[in-house]
Amino acid sequence: MSQAVGNTALAYARVWHHVDASDRILGKLAERIALVLMGKHKPIYDPSVDCGDYVIVTNSRNVKVTGRKSEQLLFRKHSMYPGGLKETPYRDMMSDKPDEIIRHAVSGMLPKNKLRDRRLERLKIFPSYNMGVLGGNILRSWDDGTLPPDWDPTKPTTTMSLQGNWRIENPS
């Protein structure tokens, strides 16, 4: 009989989630990623404890924005020297660093506290569908939250291979 009181190590185990950013709206995608990074989807959520999961985002080049944001949105950074303000339009950021667009949006959705940087470290963003060796860690996709039938943790996974072998309902 277990004498453990409270949450066990299994409750705090981190899971790797995969999301394909193709044709997804940036704000809604960033909100969902922020919830998973914080751990709000778990029943053991506590604002003072970092119990969130890892998130892998693929196809960040294909993320969409609504309205005229693609023309009006500016990304600003400052070097802390006089006259050191740099403004980059959305279109230039999308062509040069599409991963920074998603990272900036998710960062704005996270609470501004000491856990923010640690949570952002668990966010992995790739501009195409190839995610390298990290694909072998994926346990959940955001489509239905289940594992594919022939999932092999030793084999690196890409978005295309996940779509090809994901669980298919039998029509019979």
Domain that holds residue 150: 16-66+95-164
From the list 10, 56, 63, 61, the residue with the least C-alpha distance to 37 is: 56
Q: Is 120 helix (H, G, I), strand (E, B) or coil?
A: helix
Query: Cβ distance 74 to 87 under 8 Å?
Result: yes
Domain tally for the chain?
A: 1
Q: Phi and psi dihedrals of 16, rounded to 5?
A: -95, 125
pLDDT given at position 167:
47
Would you say residue 1 lies in a domain?
Answer: no
Would you say residue 71 lies in a domain?
Answer: no
Would you say residue 76 lies in a domain?
Answer: no
Would you say residue 84 lies in a domain?
Answer: no
Query: Cβ distance 123 to 57 under 8 Å?
Result: yes
Q: Where are the beta strands (DSSP E) in the chain?
A: 16-20, 54-58, 74-78, 85-89, 123-125, 138-141
Would you say residue 145 lies in a domain?
Answer: yes
CATH of the domain at 113: 3.90.1180.10
Would you say residue 55 lies in a domain?
Answer: yes
Would you say residue 77 lies in a domain?
Answer: no
pTM of the model: 0.78
Would you say residue 129 lies in a domain?
Answer: yes
Integer Cα distance of 24 and 113 in angstroms: 28
pLDDT given at position 149:
61
pLDDT tens string, the chain, 172 residues long: the values are 556 666 677 778 898 998 989 889 999 999 999 999 999 988 889 998 899 999 999 999 999 999 999 999 999 999 999 999 999 999 999 999 999 999 999 999 999 999 999 999 999 999 988 887 887 787 766 654 445 566 665 665 555 665 555 444 444 4
